[in-house]
Structure formats: structure tokens, C-alpha cells
Amino acid sequence: MESLAGSLNTINEIVILYKSKLLKYFMYHVKDYEDAQDLLQETFINISRSIDKLKNTESINIWIYKIAHNLLISFYRKKKNKLLVYDQDFDDLNLDIKKVFTPEEHYIIEETENEVLKCVRELPDKYRIAFILKEIFDLNYTEIAEIMDIKFGTVQSRIFRAREILIKKLNRKGIKP
């Protein structure tokens, strides 16, 4: 573990592996590229300063997201803003459309995606964050619990509740989830 601590190669590898993921995470929440870049830079600074405290390399993913999440919380305490989901196309989230669609089908898909994003943005913060970490960033419940500093069961209930709210909102709009 001592070889991990402070290793410039390790820090560079972390930056390479997590830069785009963390930038996307921050953009979802702050909706401002410069603020997201600042948070990203602060995250990597904090990682480099405290990497020697990392005891288990298997939990590095959780550790990195926890640092990012804590910086995001600090950011909002300073700004006193509500958390926002970055308004972007699902294409930017690396979701692939597997077949070719007609222009009408493509339009319907885009409109549906926009409505889903709008509904996700309207979720209460505590549900939205857990939902995004699970569904967009594909983290497991344990990782989300550690990042958000809540119990495993709380993560499960928040994600369940987020899905429940989304289904109701989408059904009201005539969209079948």
C-alpha cells in the first residue's frame, strides 16, 4: 500500500480513469462548466493530498466519489443553491440506440428522453442524487450508501421512491416507462 501513497503515476492514472466520470457527475449537479471544472480540480487535489490515508485499494472508487460528493455538498453550502441535473441529451450519457429509426421515431424518442430528463430534474434532491448514481453512473447500493453517507436500506428506499415518482409522472404525461 505504501507504493500507492503519493505515487505520481497513481495520481495520473486516477485522473485518467475518473476525469470524465467526475466531470459528468459535477455537471449534473452544478449545471455550470466552470464550477464543475473547479470541483473536479479540487477533487484531484484532495485525492493527491490524502491518498496515503487510503487503506484499501479495492474501495478506491467509493473513496473518490465520497471526496467528490463532500466537495459538492460544501459547494452548495457556500452557494446555497438547489441541486440541478445538467440538461443534456441521453447521447452524452453513452446510451446507444441499437437500431436505425425513421425521422418520426427519432423525434418521438428525443421528446420522450426530454420528458424523462425533465421528470428526473423535478425529483427531490435526496432521491435524484441516489437515482443518478445508480442509473447513470451504475454504482451499486453499497457504493452509493458510502458516498452519500447513508444506510444501505435508505439507498434502496430512495431509489425505489425515485422510480415510483418517475413512473407516476411519466404515466400522467402518457409515457409508458
pLDDT digits (tens, 9 = 90+) for 114-149: 788 888 888 998 898 899 888 887 788 998 998 888
Rg (CA), the chain: 18
pTM of the full predicted structure?
0.55
The grid coordinates listed for 148 are 452519500
Q: Residue written as cell 425521422?
A: 103
Residue 7: pLDDT band (50, 70, 90) is low
Q: Does 3 score more than 50 pLDDT?
A: no
The CATH code that applies to domain 92-172 is 1.10.10.10
> Domain 8-79: which topology?
Rna Polymerase Sigma Factor; Chain: A (1.10.1740)
